[in-house]
Amino acid sequence: MLLIPCPWCGPREDDEFTFGGEADIPRPADPAALTDEQWADYLFMRDNRRGHHREQWCHTAGCRRWFIVERDTVTNEILGASIYGDSP
Amino acid sequence: MSQPFRLTQGGRIERDAPLQFTFDGRPIHAFRGDTVASALLANGVTLVGRSFKYHRPRGMVSAGAEDPNAFVQLGHGPRTLPNRLATVTAAASGLEVRHVNAWPSLDFDLMSAFGLAAPFIPAGFYYKTLMWPRRLWPLYEHFLRHAAGLGHAPNAPDPDRYDQVHAHCDVLVVGAGAAGLAAARAAEQSGARVIVADEQAEFGGGLLSTTERVDGLPAPQWADAATSELSSAPEVTALPNTTAFGLYESNLVLLAERLHTDQPDNAGSESGARVWRVLPKQIVLATGAHERPLLFANNDRPGVMLAGAISTYLNRYAVAPGSRAVLFTNNDAAYLTALDLADAGVPVAAIADVRSDPEGDLPAQARTRGIPIHAGAVVVQAHGRGRVAAAELCALDGAPLGTVECDLLGVSGGFAPALHLHAQAGAPMTWNPQIAAFAPRPSHDIHPAGAVTGQLDLASALRQGTSAGAAAAAAAGCSNGHTPAAPRAAETHTSDLEPYWLPPGDLARAKPQFVDLHEDVTLDDLRLSLREGFQSIEHVKRYTTLGMGPDQGKLANPLATGVIAQLLGRDPASVGTPRHRPAYSPVSLGAIAGRHIGPLADPVRVTPMQEWHQSAGARFENVGQWRRAWYYPHPGESMHEAVARECLAVRHRVGILDYSTLGKIEVTGPDAGEFLDRVYTNAWKRLRPGRCRYGLMLGEDGMIFDDGVTARLDAQRYLMFTSTSNAAPVLAWLEQWLQTEWTDLRVYLTSVSEHWSNIALAGPRSRDVLAAAGTDIPLAQKDFPFMTFREGHVAGVPARAFRISFSGELSYEINVPADRALHVWEALFDAGRPFGITPYGTETMHVLRAEKGFIIVGQETDGSVTPDDVGLGRLLSRRKDFLGKRSLSRPDSVRPDRKQLVGLLTDDPARVLPEGGHVVDTPGRRRPLPMRGHVTSSYFSPVLGRSIALAMVAGGRAALGERLYVATLHDDRWLPARSCHPVFYDPEGARQHV
């Protein structure tokens, strides 16, 4: 069980949340200008990082806000949470 | 006397509270305070089960949760519980207890023939042998399932309800023995909120079975005082009968509490069981240690028992588990048992001690009492068939020391800390050579105390418990300056244990020597595993099933570590122990599920018109969580007849459909139009208020995600309809883009699915019905044309009427507030009677839309279908970007042989194709047969008087009219059909524009 610190609601059990995968993958500003490889990279490729990981979570059963969690993927330790727009 | 092995005095049983239960139908007399195991022993029952594989006779080995043998079945019928341990189940009046693994009876088990065959069925036997011939596996499996018993499942759904408790505390103390009680007291005195849990019916643990004293009181009396002190402390929750069975990330601890265990109605049932989900700030682990068994031939015979368990049965339950004992040990603990036996009047015929010179207080006392001690000696074989009759002794060099008669053989191979919870959480442990076992290493939030640390004496347990409790409280931020004093006990001088794993020399070859009693894993099995290259402890476990029983190898694993180390000539620390996993002991699934079953796990959603549908005789189908009216059969009508009648009513007159389940999302804000432009494939900003448009939503992979009509309510407000099953996913999808990507857009999303009910009127007379029901909305075609919406009143209720159509007929979808929806529905129905209004369900809706070639997301599409694949390429805007657009030009998205939506008309108009049926060019027996596509929707069309189908066929659109064949499962035949344009009825779309 992960205790996830929702920036709006405080620490809650993980079954209230939805995982949204790796954070910081902005949608390309002009998709039409990309090659197929570049588009595929945006669409499909993820880092699957070992250790420190910035990822998206949504407090689905609470405030329904998306935010960013920093988690160690080895120990599952949660290192912090931030809201979109705040500097990391 | 019915309890021949009950001692005349002592123990914590209540002799004035007798009770009776049954074991295999035979009456067992007991007292309150007994466990099922202690009562069985008091009644002289030593055989409780047959072993898992060889069906050897087995008896109680321990007096606690570590027992590998004492699994029994409790109760009968839907409340029966398999795999309960007699050693931890409180004896209760009326309890039905049965053995689990013998046939036809426990005393005469035909399958014990397996024991004779044991040399031929070693570990891995089944996988190596029963693979051939393959077709016989079902037969083998049937036989194996019957032979390998773990009790019987209940024969009906569990009638009971189970609660779960979510709890928080500063300090959770697991285990309420000496260390746990001391820790809980110290934490409470420091001002912490404490939960203390123990798996036994009474707090006290080992204190209840020792003759030692604490703070001048007999240990059980001190335990009682400490327990009542804790129970009355306002910030302490004391939970007896509660097993901490899992420790997870974030230190979530799951406790299984058994309630009302003494009430006859609950006898054998867990109807009162509840699971606690505790999130403590700090944890004190006072889980104690499990005594380790020792290896010798026939070490599984009933009567072979852990020495500590013998003391527990004597001192706590006033039961003598035998009448003449031999003890076999490599440490001091068995001497305490020898003294307890002597005090109870049970003669101790011999103590075999591995150590050449056992010194210390306890051996000295035993010597004084005249108990024969054989130093440097071991037991190498137990004699006797159904029960131990004698122990064969040997010197360490193998020299025989004779055979000693006994019916009780107490063993102590030292103690292994019960570090299961600690290890489950992945916390570190270290090999402690002094006790020849792994011990937990403390962490910043887990504080081990007592025997779990490897310190086995009472005085240390009390000291460690006190300091662990205080430290945990302080770490949790509770400190009131109070330094609790540790309770005192006499310091005893003990001598070191001498590790002993394998019998000396050739005696290690004697058979059989059981390492894991539950799984019938022998020393030979371990040798075989190592010989075949499975040497890692995890590989040994998987090869031999070591530790895989419901006892989780509590006794077997610590023994196996040492045995494997010696066989491999390696350091036990490097051998390790198999990964510990929850649950520590079996927990009933009902308690784990709690209230998350049935409609509370998967809610049933109904519309405000549900009761109307029911009284109209509707049959229902599940659409996601919704119960939707499927069709409304008249008396005597088949489904086919009812659907045909409903379809024709809509095509010729008028039908009424409850379409309240559609997802509805209000999209508001100055940038709402821009937002819709980005998420839909077509253009929205220039849609005029009052108008509706059909939209397609794609994933970024270019595949159709959802479709539906959206109306522009006013300049900054749109109402989006989603498909029923996608209401929540679409909202989540849109929110994610708004919140994480387009944070600059001023758009707000509100789900209004439940707020607005939706009633669809469809058919040429629907305008007449709406007018008759009373509305202030002008209904003429020029005032209210197709694909527009109007606000007003219907039957006196504020309403939004949409001229949209999922049937191809003149149609109105009328949105009204949910709490007035039934009224409007009834008003429309009454007004429609003169026009022959007919309620129709989802089946008719599907037929009508299929006649029109309208897709249903999730039926025609499956996440791999682009807009062009289903002929909706015209909805793709060239002038703007939208989600998924870039993917539509990937090479795979523009292949000419992609599956495309076509219609199929069978040669035989009466035959309806099976949905999902494979479409091929030429039928035949070739394998694999090249597949062109599959049927997605298929119905009999009443208005056309023939069957119709929609299918996704590779390159199908360019070859309309081609001959295709569809596989049928039912009669193994191929049905010939021709492809056609997917709109079967009114291809010009004239009927919806009238």
If one counts every other C-beta atom within 10 angstroms of the C-beta of residue B937, the result is: 24
Number of domains in chain A: 1
Look at B886 and A64 and tell me if their CB atoms are within 8 Å: no
Look at A2 and B249 and tell me if their CB atoms are within 8 Å: yes
Look at B740 and A43 and tell me if their CB atoms are within 8 Å: no
Q: From CA B497, how far away is CA B432, in angstroms rounded? A: 12
Helix (H, G, I), strand (E, B) or coil at B902: strand
Helix (H, G, I), strand (E, B) or coil at B690: coil
* A44 inside domain: no
With an 8 Å Cβ cutoff, is A43 touching chain B? yes
pLDDT digits (tens, 9 = 90+) for B584-643: 998 888 889 988 888 899 999 999 999 999 999 999 999 989 999 999 999 999 999 999
Where does the pLDDT of residue B268 fall: very low under 50, low under 70, confident under 90, or very high at 90 and above? very low
* A14 inside domain: yes
* A35 inside domain: no
Q: From CA B90, how far away is CA B262, in angstroms rounded? A: 7
Residue range B163-289+417-475 forms a domain whose CATH class is: alpha beta
Superfamily of domain B663-751: Aminomethyltransferase beta-barrel domains (3.30.70.1400)
Given the structure tokens 């016989």, which residue do they identify? B136
Degrees to nearest 5, angle at CA B239 with B311 and B171: 105
Long-range CB pairs of B374-379, under 8 A, 24+ apart, other chains included: B374/B350, B374/B401, B377/B352, B377/B353, B377/B401, B378/B294, B378/B296, B378/B328, B378/B352, B378/B354, B378/B500, B378/B503, B378/B504, B379/B294, B379/B296, B379/B326, B379/B328, B379/B352, B379/B409, B379/B411
CA–CA distances in Å: residue B542 to residues B308, B560, B925, B968: 30, 13, 43, 44
* CATH number for the domain harbouring residue A8: 3.30.2270.10
Look at A56 and B248 and tell me if their CB atoms are within 8 Å: no
pLDDT digits (tens, 9 = 90+) for B410-460: 999 999 999 999 988 878 899 999 999 999 998 889 999 999 999 999 999
A85 to chain B: which residues are within 8 Å by CB?
A: 743
Fold of B1-157: Ubiquitin-like (UB roll) (3.10.20)
pLDDT digits (tens, 9 = 90+) for B893-939: 999 999 999 999 999 999 999 999 999 999 877 778 899 999 999 99
Look at B887 and A43 and tell me if their CB atoms are within 8 Å: yes
With an 8 Å Cβ cutoff, is A29 touching chain B? no
Q: From CA B455, how far away is CA B5, in angstroms rounded? A: 33
Cis, peptide link before residue B119, omega less than 30° from 0: no
DSSP state of B661: T
A34 to chain B: which residues are within 8 Å by CB?
A: 886
A3 to chain B: which residues are within 8 Å by CB?
A: 250, 252, 279
Query: Is B802 buried (19+), middle (13-18) or exposed (0-12) by CB count in 10 A?
Result: buried
pLDDT over 80 (residue B150): no
Dmax (CA) for chain A in angstroms is: 43
B304, B409 in Cβ contact below 8 A?
yes
With an 8 Å Cβ cutoff, is A8 touching chain B? no
**Residue pairs spanning A and B at CB distance below 8 A:** 50
* A85 inside domain: yes
Q: Which CATH number fits domain B610-660+755-848: 2.40.30.10, 3.40.50.2000, 3.30.1360.120, 3.30.413.10?
A: 3.30.1360.120
Where does the pLDDT of residue B269 fall: very low under 50, low under 70, confident under 90, or very high at 90 and above? very low
Average confidence (pLDDT) over B702-722: 97
Look at A20 and B248 and tell me if their CB atoms are within 8 Å: no
A60 to chain B: which residues are within 8 Å by CB?
A: 732
Residue of B59, B49, B62, B515 whose CA lies nearest to B303: B59
pLDDT over 80 (residue B854): yes
pLDDT over 90 (residue B335): yes
The gap from C-alpha B276 to its chain's centroid, in whole angstroms, comes to 15
Look at B739 and A32 and tell me if their CB atoms are within 8 Å: no
With an 8 Å Cβ cutoff, is A40 touching chain B? yes
* A11 inside domain: yes
The pLDDT of residue B424 is: 87
What DSSP string runs through chain A?
Answer: --EEEETTTEEEEGGG-EEEEES--PPPS-GGGS-HHHHHHHHH-----SSEEEEEEE-TTTT--EEEEEEETTT--EEEEEETTS--
Q: Which CATH number fits domain B499-583: 3.40.50.10490, 1.10.10.1100, 3.50.50.60, 1.20.58.410?
A: 1.10.10.1100
Q: Does domain B297-412 have CATH number 3.50.50.60?
A: yes
pLDDT digits (tens, 9 = 90+) for B517-559: 999 999 999 999 999 999 999 999 999 999 998 899 999 999 9
The pLDDT of residue B80 is: 84
Where does the pLDDT of residue B45 fall: very low under 50, low under 70, confident under 90, or very high at 90 and above? very high
Where does the pLDDT of residue B139 fall: very low under 50, low under 70, confident under 90, or very high at 90 and above? low
Residues of chain A scoring pLDDT < 50: 88
Torsion of CA B92, B94, B95, B100, to 10 degrees: 150
Average confidence (pLDDT) over B12-23: 94
The pLDDT of residue B266 is: 47
pLDDT over 60 (residue B202): yes
What DSSP string runs through B563-625?
Answer: HHHHHHT--HHHH--PPP-S-SS---HHHHHTT-SHHHHS--B--TTHHHHHHTT-EEEEETT
Q: Distance from A48 to chain B by nearest Cα, in Å?
A: 20
Look at A2 and B886 and tell me if their CB atoms are within 8 Å: no
pLDDT-wise least confident of B99-103, B339-343, B386-390, B828-832? B99-103
The pLDDT of residue B505 is: 87
Percent of chain B residues past pLDDT 90, beyond the cut: 81
B183, B465 in Cβ contact below 8 A?
yes
pLDDT over 50 (residue B746): yes
E strand or H helix at B97, and its extent?
A: strand B96-98
Label residue B54 left, alpha or beta by phi (over 0 means left) and psi (-120 to 50 means alpha). Answer: alpha
Q: State both tokens at B357.
A: 């010179």
Percent of chain B residues past pLDDT 70, beyond the cut: 94
Where does the pLDDT of residue B270 fall: very low under 50, low under 70, confident under 90, or very high at 90 and above? very low
Superfamily of domain B895-993: Aminomethyltransferase beta-barrel domains (2.40.30.110)
Where does the pLDDT of residue B342 fall: very low under 50, low under 70, confident under 90, or very high at 90 and above? very high
B881 to chain A: which residues are within 8 Å by CB?
A: 30-32
Q: Which domain holds residue A61?
A: 1-25+50-88
